[in-house]
Structure 1
Amino acid sequence: MAFDGLFIHSLLKNLSPTLIGGKLTKIYQPFEQDLVLNFRKVRKNQRLLISANAQNPRFYITTETITNPDVAPTFVMVLRKYLEGSILQEIKQVDVERIVNFHFSNRNELGDEMQLILSVELMGRHSNVILYNADDNKIIDLLKRINPDENRARLLLPHASYELPPLLPGLNGFNLSLDQFNNLKTKYPEPMDFVKQFNGLDGDDKKEFAGYLEDDFTYSSLQTFFNQFNRPKGYILQTTKHKDRVYTYLPYHLELNLIYSNDDINKTLDDFYHEQANREWVKQKSKKIENIVNNELKKLKKKIIKLRKQLDQAENSEGYRIKGELLNAYLHEVKPGMESIDLPNYYKNNQPLKIKLDPALSPARNAQKYFTRYQKLRNSIKHVNEQIKLANENLDYFESIQTAIDNADPQDIDAISDELINQGYLKEQTHNRRRKKKISEKNLNTFKLNDGKKVLVGKNNYQNDWLTLKKSDKRDYWFHVKNMPGSHVILQDSNPSDEDIKEAAEIAAYFSKGKTSSHVPVDYVQVKRIKKPNGAKPGFVIYTGQNSIEVTPDEQDVLSKKI
């Protein structure tokens, strides 16, 4: 079930009493298309998340702590100017459309009362958040300013008059009378045709509503279906294709399996969108550094292919030496101005070998040219091997950055950016300089094993170095996937059981490039056996005396241990 009109109707039954009458104390725009409004009511803070993301437009009360940008975007500055300190008077849905108006009362600089409306339109790629004055209907500002050429239905720019978007005709099932029902049934005797006359229903709702009417095509069935949206609960159900969906009611006519339920629909939404929202926010915040990482990975892979070809050519350079020897041996047969000559190769039973010649050079100089070429290639082997080693180390480094991004929470991206700045891959913006935060245990991922032992996990290369080389006791055990990028994982125990080792190894495998693989090899060793070479890149260490274990990480099992 998407955020359709019926879903929003249900959500407001739960959300409105919590927020109406509350004072809007803080407003943030942590990401390009997401807002967080902090309300204070009855000595409690409630954070309302509003997202105009095209794939998942939504709003609900969240407990998520979201890091805010150092420089506030223009829209949030406007909202702070007009709405901070205001009182939320009312929340009204436009009929059963995906439009919700938050009505605020505030005073302007002259002390005069203002009525302001924050309109949240959850319409896929057309989703938007619009602030306008209720007195003259003039738009003050909006999250997405739309060029008139892109939307000719209405003008979405500051100072324009606010108008509703074009809406499809349809009925509101909450207001339908018995007479209207009977007239509509006469006109549309087939349940699905009947259902199509109503607004606010997504595909699943229509199937479920039609199922009610197929069981009993009466006004009572219609009321039963719509009344459940006035008593919402949170349900997460799974389709036959193992995709999770969230509902405010429990469907009976759809092929779904119940996997979670909660009386609080906001809590259900917060849980349901947690991982998805994190991925969206990380993607938004890491876009710039991911471009750098992807470009570096492409360049390094191409470079390694080229270097391996050079190495192969150098290691198979004996042919140049042989040609030089044969030319010297049969120098009397080589005439000035020749472009090639066939000479017996005494290394291969005197089989003829065709040798190309430079007609501008003397026979002796042609022979010397082959020896020079041979010697140059032989001498290059050491250098090319060093270059391949360096390129592979850099490739491993950028793959570790990519793995850190894949496992990051939004607040971790700044630390990864700092690392790339310090390594010279990213230029720091002068206007965006911020004080670097010291690493502490609260920055890490923390897990508790079944027997209560603690496991700490670094989320980027700087955290990995700090955790392994500074935080850990030398007797603790260190875990890391074998021969692939991953987090440093520390089991805070000097004498772990076999079960402890298995659980910690599963955590290490999950926070690695092999998180979706089976039979992932993980090395483990005491911290005292780990060293960091001089000049090594962040996150790179060497170790000896390790043991290994093969595990298959299970996401649900691993994350259930997180504290």
Structure 2
Amino acid sequence: MVFDSSLVCLVLKEINSRLIDKVVKDIKEAEEGFSLEFGKGLFLNFSLEKRNFCSFMWDVPLFPLKGVDSPFTLLLKKHLIGKTFVGGYQLDFDRIIALDFEVVYPGKLVERKRLFVEFIPAKLNMILVGSGREIICSWRKLLHCNSNFYLPPYSNKVNPLLYNQFNPFLFENNLYQGLSKNLLSYVKSFSSIESGWNSWLNSLMREDIKPTLFISREGVPLDFWFLDYSFTDAYRKKYFNGVSDLMGYFLVEKKRIERDIEERIRRNKEIEDRRSYLLKKREKLRETISREGEIRRLELIGEMIFANLSSIPDKASRIKLSNPYTGELEDVELDPSLTPALNAQRYFKEAAKLRRGIEKAKYELNKVEEELAKLSAVNISPLPDREGMEKREEKSEKRDGKAFREFEYKGWVILVGKGASSNEELTFRISSDDDIWLHVKGSPGSHVVIRNPLKQEVPLDVLEFAASLAAYYSKAKMNTKVPVDYTLVKYVKRHPAGKRGAVLISNQRTIWVRPRSGEIF
């Protein structure tokens, strides 16, 4: 999902229209998020989950947790409960909002607190700041409390809401703030980029919206936006009255499906574990039953001992006795601590014990076979999981038929992966130990490799070019500046517990770049 700048703008308008002059009644901690209660049936929800981050108004809190509140929640309650919401604003059409709360004490003394929320994948965060800019608490604990809070560096991108005139150069060079994949898809669905851009801008400014949920053939919510357009892989669509209703429904459905998948996976694992246990048990039972022929052999030895009691010396450990049926001499083991009669009884007891064990094994084997038949009849078909979604994305990325994207910059060849299997092949089969490996920091994205067959030092501008590609072909492509890790390929190892393409790296360095496609250099 993409909670882009357009959605942030619309949600903030709804927040300001419904919550100004409302008092915070309570704060509830949720699964990867928080809910601010302003009255019965009036909640401002914040989801800070990496895959599903957003904010919206709803009539119920967001998946509240039961138990002891975290220190961050306790500080939010201490500083915000009882305070009045006086307004919020969006920072330069970026995915950062600031919400102001205040309380007026006797003598017209005003105490104000400001809550910053950053909806940026690489650094999702919520920061409570005092009136003197001091940081009171930070959700991600990356900022030191009591230190001063400063806004992110000014972006060199242009706020599209400040200009009515469409500029093709700014659009083509990704210099407009707030360009998301949904916005690009919507704009490109028109006969001309300019007409699509103007349609988007007018709809956003006039709030002439059509909140749309895009749903797969299997009924899984794929994405949402405030306008309708032709969404790839969407089998059907569902429309809502407002963006908050849309996002609330999306998150609830996503969570329901994820829990259903987890439950199905858990049940499948239980069934597989039970089947594995039963198969092993069946083998042991069959092995026991296969000894049925030994019963008569043990009884025969007992009979042979009884028939020769007078000729067997005491304390003998082994003796040769004649088989009454074949007439051949057979070697028989004896327990020297027992008399010949007791040795005969010992063999009869072993035969009886084995017979009882085999009868019990046959009974249990029937039960095992019945249970295995029932387990084989169980057919749990899990809903499309994340791996399936990744495969679909990877398939759509490979429609051009090439295994990798290939770029050339100042004589250097740069390869960019196209999904998990492509990343795996690029990093561990195609590249060499002394090639440079790059990947966006803290966000999913393509593996990027600078080929270096001559083992030369890679120039800084080439490294920045490759890093900008790694940033562009990642989930962080809409951010102004993106951190990218780079190291030699020989320091990249497969993650022992990860999926395809998951790696562990060492000796890496980090470079900050602006995401740019290779076509615009």
Which TM-score applies when normalising by structure 2? 0.55
- Structure 2 Cα separation of the partners of residues 139 and 373 of structure 1: 81
The answer to whether 1:102 aligns with 2:99 is yes
**Structure 1 equivalent of residue 518 of structure 2:** none
> How many angstroms apart in 2 are the aligned matches of 1:92 and 1:175?
15
CA contact (8 A) 1:235 1:258 kept: no
Alpha-carbon distance in 1 for matches of 2:226, 2:24: 27
| Equivalent residue number for residue 34 of structure 2 | 35
Q: Which residue of 1 aligns with 2:135?
A: 139
CA distance 1:263–1:302, change in 2 (3 Å): closer
What is the aligned partner in structure 2 of residue 322 from structure 1?
296
Residue 56 of structure 1 and its aligned partner are, at CA, apart by 0.6
Against the structure 1 CA distance between its residues 311 and 353, is the aligned structure 2 distance closer, same or farther, given a 3 Å change threshold?
farther
Q: Does 1:50 align with 2:46?
A: yes
2:163 aligned residue:
176
> For residues 430-482 of structure 1, what are the alpha-carbon distances to aligned partners after superposition, in whole Å with 9 as ceiling and x for unaligned?
xxxxxxxxxxxxxxxxxxxxxxxxxxxxxxxxxxxxxxxxxxxxxxxxxxxxx
Residue equivalent to 1:523: none
Give the residue type in structure 2 aligned to 1:174. Answer: L
Deviation of residue 119 (structure 1)? 1.8
Question: 1:20 is matched with which residue?
Answer: 20
* Structure 1 pair 83–310 and aligned structure 2 pair: CA distance change class (3 A): same
CA gap 1:253/1:70 in 2 versus in 1, 3 angstroms? closer
CA contact (8 A) 1:102 1:119 kept: yes
Paired position in structure 2 for 1:85:
82
DSSP 3-state at the match of 1:270: helix
Q: Work out the percentage of aligned pairs sharing the same amino acid.
A: 20
User: Once structures 1 and 2 are overlaid, which stretch shifts more, 2-11 or 167-176?
Assistant: 167-176
Contact 1:54 1:126 in 2 (8 A): no
Q: Is the 8 A contact 2:186 2:196 kept in 1?
A: no
* 80-89 or 124-133, which deviates more: 124-133
In the other structure, the counterpart of 2:58 is: 62
Q: What secondary structure, in the 3-state scheme, does the structure 2 residue paired with 1:136 have?
A: coil
One-letter amino acid of the structure 1 residue matched with residue 94 of structure 2? E
* 1:228 paired residue number: 203
> Partners in 1 of 2:116 and 2:67 — Cα distance?
26
1:3 corresponds to = 3
1:324 Cα shift? Answer: 0.9
Residue in 1 aligned with 2:475? Answer: none
Equivalent pair of 2:27/2:34 in contact (CA under 8 Å): yes
Query: CA 1:89–1:281 in structure 2 vs 1: closer, same or farther (change >3 Å)?
Result: farther
Give the direction of change, closer, same or farther, for the CA distance of 1:157–1:385 in structure 2 (3 Å limit): farther
The alpha-carbon deviation at position 198 of structure 1 amounts to: 2.6
The 2-side partners of 1:351 and 1:161 are apart by 104
Quick one: which of 260, 271, 279 aligns to 2:249? 271
- Structure 1 residue ranges without an equivalent (≥5): 146-154, 396-402, 407-563
- Does structure 1 retain, via aligned residues, the 8 Å contact 2:101–2:114? yes
Q: Deviations over 1:499-552 (max 9, x none)?
A: xxxxxxxxxxxxxxxxxxxxxxxxxxxxxxxxxxxxxxxxxxxxxxxxxxxxxx
CA deviations 1:318-358 (Å, max 9, x no partner) are 2332231232355579996669x999897xxx799999958
RMSD: 5.0
Change (3 A) 1:247 1:337: same
Is the Cα contact below 8 Å between 2:212 and 2:227 reproduced in 1?
Answer: yes
TM-aligned CA distance change 1:316 to 1:240, over 3 Å: closer
1:54 deviates by: 1.6
Equivalent residue runs for 1:362-377 within 5 Å: 371-377=348-354
Distance apart, 1:38 and its partner CA: 0.8
Give CA-to-partner distance per residue, 1:130-177, whole Å, 9 cap, x none. 2121x33222123332xxxxxxxxx42433433456787533222235
Give the deviation of 1:17 after TM superposition. 0.6
CA pair 126-217 structure 1, distance change in 2 beyond 3 A: closer
* Residue deviations 1:277-306 (CA, integer Å, cap 9, x gap): 34668999x9xxx99x99988886666556
- How far off is 1:248 after superposition? 0.3
- Whole-angstrom CA distance in 2 between matches of 1:124 and 1:161: 23
Please point out which of 235, 238, 241 is paired with 1:260. Answer: 238
The one-letter code of the counterpart of 1:322 is R
- Which residues of 2 match residues 283-322 of structure 1 at below 5 A? 304=278, 307-309=281-283, 311-322=285-296
Distance across 2 between alignment mates of 1:355 and 1:275: 75
Residues 148-187 of structure 1 aligned to structure 2 (within 5 Å): 155-164=142-151, 169-176=156-163, 178=165, 181-182=166-167, 185=168, 187=169
**CA separation of 1:295 and 1:256: change in aligned 2, threshold 3 A:** closer
Q: Report deviation, 1:199.
A: 2.9
The answer on 1:198 being equivalent to 2:150 is no
Contact 1:172-1:198 within 8 A present in 2 as well? yes
User: Partners in 2 of 1:223 and 1:352 — Cα distance?
Assistant: 106
Task: Deviation per CA, 1:349-389: give whole Å up to 9, x if none.
Answer: x7999999589788877766554444445555798899999
Q: Which has the larger radius of gyration?
A: 2
CA distance in 2, matches of 1:160, 1:89: 25
Cα gap change, 1:26/1:294 in structure 2, threshold over 3 Å: closer, same or farther?
Answer: farther
Tell me, in whole angstroms, the C-alpha distance in 2 between the residues paired with 1:309 and 1:107.
78
Corresponding position of 1:216: 192
The residue that corresponds to 2:400 in the other structure is none
SS in 2 for 1:24: coil
Q: Once the two structures are superposed, what CA deviation does each residue of 1:35-57 show, in whole Å capped at 9, x if it has no partner?
A: 111114xxx64111111112211
Change over 3 Å in CA distance of 1:360–1:10 after alignment to 2? farther
| SS of alignment partner, residue 102 of structure 1 | strand
Paired letter, 1:237:
F
* CA shift digits 1:73-99 (9 cap, x unpaired): 322221111000111111112222222
Find the aligned partners of 2:275 and 2:298 in 1 and give their Cα distance. 35
The CA deviation at 1:200 is 1.9
Deviation at 1:217, TM superposition (A): 4.7
Residues 20 and 358 from structure 1, CA distance in 2 versus in 1: closer, same or farther, beyond 3 angstroms? farther
Q: Distance in 2 between matches of 1:308 and 1:77?
A: 56
> Aligned match of 1:115 in 112, 118, 121?
112
Say whether the 8 Å CA contact 1:35–1:51 is kept in structure 2. yes
Q: Note closer, same or farther for the CA distance 1:379–1:278 as it changes in structure 2 (3 Å cut).
A: same
1:280–1:344 distance in 2 versus 1, CA, 3 Å: same
The residue matched to 2:88 in structure 1 has which SS? strand
Residue correspondence of structure 1 range 495-506 to structure 2 within 5 A:
none
Evaluate the alpha carbon distance shift between residue 114 and residue 316 of structure 1 in structure 2; reply closer, same or farther with a 3 A threshold: same
Matched residues, number: 361
